Every structure is written in structure tokens, then in C-alpha cells.
Amino acid sequence: MSLELLDIHKHFGPVRANDGITITVETGSLHGLLGENGAGKSTLMKVLSGFHSADSGRIVLDGREIKLASPDDAIEAGIGMLHQDPLVFLPFSVIDNFVLGSPGGWRLDRTQAEDELAELCERYGFNIDPDTPARLLTVGERQQLEILRLLWLGARVLILDEPTTGISADQRAKLFVTLKALAEEGMSVIFVSHKLEEVADLCERVTVMTRGKVVGEAEMPVPPERLVQMMFGQAVEIHGKDPVPLGDSHLRLSDVRMSSGLLSEEPVSLEVAAGEVIGLAGMEGSGQDAFLRICAGMRSPSHGTVHVAGRDLSNKHYREFLASGVKYLPAGRLEEGLIEGLTITEHFVLAGEDRRFFVNWDAARQTAVDQIDHFTIKGTDESTAESLSGGNQQRLLLAMLPPSLKLLLMEHPTRGLDIESADWVWEQLLARREEGTSIVFASADLDELLRYSDRILVFFSGRVFGELDSSQTTVDDIGMLIGGRRIHGAAS
């Protein structure tokens, strides 16, 4: 299906998310939509998929103008969207999720649906058991399930919004093979990303957006410097970390085990000095998240002790960890870090230390305005958390951190961020490090782990499988340990 977006406008209050966007996507093509965080990419795709209604403009599909008031309208027209977080109901089984939205309703033939799911899995090389609970699927498998569901519902234009966020390299490779096969079958695929290398590997044409406008288009391949220039208006210099003297111990784990099965086979002991950065690597579900939550006081170990700045906090309440200078930033920014429906001003009220009964709203608004300016958040003091892009949500979380911290724990601090935003985030984190804050972070980006960590712990099957000095290791070394293969010189 040939697709045209013509002069699309979408405003959220004073924010012009889409400001006169015109894009043409050819039939059977892989079209990249590239831009920094907050450029308006996701908003535009939500307009195309019926989740938002455009303020003005036209959508033309195969020469016919269409009106989209809902996702149902979009899928009926043949347009399906795979969101950054797949729309999968975790308590349901695979087959229950697969048939969601089916026009068959209560008369649906489930046996036929299972047969068609199996046929689609075989066709695209997926391996998903229809009876498996969706909560047991990896992020990559949830993506596969959602793609299959959209194909079954008749999608001929497939939109993917930052689809490689949170999936492994193997899953990404399989996804790219699938998308190329779909394009060869005549589907139009729109690949939304901020990652230059992924767009270069996959797409035939790319449109670049900045601040709600199209700033350039190019036939691939083109030099990455040209795309960076279009995205940011200048070359982006990636900053590394400078050496800092390490201080006293800010975190000490001694023989820690988990009662849930994770980290239960082998105890974990670790000491982290002031100013030290520890990276956590491993496949999703290998134990990194549970490890971070133990360090943050959000989960209790079944055995062993946790000390923060010399104080024994084993089995203490999360509030005790906060009072001791520990802060945890989760991967789910909107699900766990921020509160949907609350404004930026209201978030600063909740994060502040003023616990008086009456709120000084003038002071709170001024704090919000000052922090929006200092952290270059694209929004206003009245913007709600969910109206911000992923990069701006991360900037808000960083802006809400208390001024002094002993230990900062993070899951995927730059997940979903463009290169400029990711570099900016690490500038803020490294400034904290220079003040003596210890940082422990989990990431799926091996280059990020190598660039910013002093040491790297690699998790495999719920345990620390190896410890690496980042100055004396490579991406291949980390990859081997992630896959469960020992390498010479890796502590365990």
C-alpha cells in the first residue's frame, strides 16, 4: 500500500508535536523515520495508527483519503502499529492475546486461530507456544506475537516504534529478517528509531524529523555524519569518563542470596567504592533487575547482608535506604518512576523534602520552570508525565534526584534515547560520580557498559557468571559471558 501523510498538524497545548509533516511511503518499502527524542516521531505514528486524531492534514492510502478516529479504524484500513512496549496482556495466554480484536467475537474458532498462529510462526521462523502465559515471554517474543496478531488482522502497513529497545542482538537480527521478508511480500514498513546504525542496516529511505518538522530525506545508504547533521544541526561528540580517585565503601554485599530462586544457587559478594561505576550485563531476566532491587531495599535477600556507607540495612524498609542516600531509577519510567496524569510541577512537589500540610504552589511551579530550563526538558510546568517523550521523561527523573547521593542504581539509563540525549544523561551521571556518588547500572548496550563502567558484572541464569575490568576487556568478551561461556581472566 502506498501511503501519504500530507501537512499533518498535532498540538498538545502550546507544544507543536507535529507541525506540518508531509511524508510518502512507497509500497513494499522499508522506510526509516529518524529523529532525536521529542522530535514528534511517535506522535505522528499514533496519528497514523488512530491513537491520536490530527488537528489538521490528510492521510491518503492507495490514492484514497482515509479518516482514522481509532485504532480499529486504522487496522480496518490495513494499518497496524507495534508500540515500543508491545500491547500484550500479561495475564492472558499467547493464543488469547493473538485473537484480541478479532472480528469473530464470541463465535471465534479457537482451533482455527491456533492453526493460523502456527502457520504464521512457521512462515516467519518464530517459535511461540500458544498456551504459554504472555508474562513468561521475553520482550522480543512479545513483539513477535504482536506482529503476528497485526498480520492476522490484515495489516499491510506496519509501523514499528523503537522496536529494538530492550531486546537482545539475536532477537534484533531475527526481527530485521522478518521485516525484510514482509517488505518483499509487498508490505510497507515504517521503522521509527533514533539509532543511525539500525536505520542504515535496514531501511531503503529515511525521513529525519526535528522539533515536529521534517528537516530532510535521503535514499540509503548515506554517510552517518549527514544524518547526524540533519538530526542535531551539528556533529555530536561522545564524552567518555575521566579517572577519579575512589573513596570509602558506599555499598557492600556479603554472601547475598535471593529466596525467589534468582541468585539462590551462588551467593553474591560485592564492594563498590565512592565514585566507582559498576555495569551489569546479561540477557533479560538473568537476575540484574533483582540484584538492583536488593541494593535499593526494594527486595530482601534470604541470606547475607547489605551495607550502605557502613550502615547495615539488611532487611530494612525502602525508606531506610532512601534516608541513607540511595536512589533507584527503574527501566519503566512511566510505569514505576513517574505518575501518569500528574504534571511536572506536581512531580516536584512529591519529590521535594517539604512535608508541610499546605503546598506552596508558586514555589513549586518556579522549581519546575527552573529545572525544565536546566535539564532542557521539552515541556512546560503543566505538562503531564505521559505527554513527554521517553528522553524527556528520563530528564525529568534526573531532575528530581536529590542533590546529594551515596548510591545511584539504574536500569537501562539511556534505553530509547538518541545519541545526543544519551551523552547528555551520562554527563549528568559522571558529574555525580565526581562528587563521590557510586553508580550501579544495568544495560543491554555493551558499548555503553564498556565506555562508562570501571567494572562489569555479567549475569547468567540468575547468578554473577563473571566480573570484568572494563579497561581490559572487549564487547566479544562480554558477549561470551552473557551466552554462558567462560573466558580466561574473568572472575566468578
Q: 54 pLDDT exceeds 60?
A: yes
Domains, the chain, ordered by start: 3-232 (3.40.50.300), 239-325+403-492 (3.40.50.300), 339-401 (no CATH)
Q: Which residues contact 368 (CB under 8 A, 6 or more apart)?
A: 343, 344, 345, 347, 348, 381
Average pLDDT, the chain: 85
Give the closest residue to 141 by CA, choosing from 158, 152, 129.
129
What is the spatial distance between Cα 242 and Cα 105, in angstroms, rounded to a whole number? 60
Higher per-residue confidence, 418 vs 437: 437
In the chain, pLDDT over 70 holds for what percent of residues?
91
Q: 238 pLDDT exceeds 70?
A: no
Q: 412 pLDDT exceeds 90?
A: no
- Residue 491 confidence class, pLDDT cut points 50, 70, 90: low
b/e per residue 178-206 (b: at least 16 CB within 10 A)? bbeebbeeebbbbbbbbbbebbbebbebb
What is the spatial distance between Cα 112 and Cα 129, in angstroms, rounded to a whole number? 15
What is the spatial distance between Cα 280 and Cα 488, in angstroms, rounded to a whole number? 19
Taking residues 468-478, report their average pLDDT. Answer: 83
Structural element, H or E, at residue 290: helix 288-296
Cell of 99: 485473537
What does the CA dihedral 171, 177, 183, 188 come to, rounded to 10 degrees? Answer: 20
Alpha carbon separation from 299 to 262, 291, 406 (Å, rounded) = 12, 9, 19
Q: Which residues contact 20 (CB under 8 A, 6 or more apart)?
A: 7, 8, 9, 57, 213
Taking residues 192-216, report their average pLDDT. Answer: 87
Alpha carbon separation from 415 to 1, 145, 223 (Å, rounded) = 32, 22, 24
Q: Which residues contact 22 (CB under 8 A, 6 or more apart)?
A: 4, 5, 6, 7, 8, 214
What is the spatial distance between Cα 96 and Cα 112, in angstroms, rounded to a whole number? 13
What is the spatial distance between Cα 30 and Cα 121, in angstroms, rounded to a whole number? 21
Higher per-residue confidence, 42 vs 357: 42
Q: 272 pLDDT exceeds 90?
A: yes
pLDDT attached to residue 163: 83
Taking residues 323-330, report their average pLDDT. Answer: 92
Taking residues 455-471, report their average pLDDT. Answer: 85
Q: What is the number of residues in the chain?
A: 492
Q: 489 pLDDT exceeds 80?
A: no
- Residue 295 confidence class, pLDDT cut points 50, 70, 90: very high
Taking residues 11-26, report their average pLDDT. Answer: 89
468, β-bridge pairs: 456
Taking residues 110-132, report their average pLDDT. Answer: 88
pLDDT attached to residue 173: 84
Q: For helices 344-351 and 361-374, give the axis angle rounded to 10 degrees.
A: 100
pLDDT attached to residue 421: 79
Q: What are the phi and psi torsion angles at 45 (to 5°)? A: -70, -30
At 343, the amino acid letter reads: T
pLDDT tens digits, one per residue of 430-443: 999 999 999 999 98
Structural element, H or E, at residue 220: none
Give the start-end residues of each E strand in 200-333: 205-210, 213-219, 249-257, 268-273, 277-281, 303-308, 311-312, 326-329
Q: For helices 390-399 and 419-434, give the axis angle rounded to 10 degrees.
A: 10
pLDDT tens digits, one per residue of 74-95: 999 999 998 877 778 888 899 9
Taking residues 211-216, report their average pLDDT. Answer: 88
CB of 329 within 8 A of CB of 400? no
Give the closest residue to 322 by CA, choosing from 441, 264, 395, 404.
404
Taking residues 212-238, report their average pLDDT. Answer: 78
What is the spatial distance between Cα 182 and Cα 186, in angstroms, rounded to a whole number? 7
Cell of 397: 527523573
Q: 454 pLDDT exceeds 50?
A: yes
Higher per-residue confidence, 153 vs 101: 153
Taking residues 462-470, report their average pLDDT. Answer: 84
What is the spatial distance between Cα 396 and Cα 392, in angstroms, rounded to a whole number? 6
Which alpha helices (DSSP H) does 411-469 contain, by range? 419-434, 446-452
pLDDT attached to residue 105: 56
Taking residues 381-408, report their average pLDDT. Answer: 89
Q: 182 pLDDT exceeds 80?
A: yes
Q: 461 pLDDT exceeds 80?
A: no
Q: 159 pLDDT exceeds 90?
A: yes
Q: 286 pLDDT exceeds 70?
A: yes
pLDDT attached to residue 264: 47
pLDDT attached to residue 396: 92
Residue with cell 504472555: 134
pLDDT attached to residue 113: 86
pLDDT attached to residue 433: 93
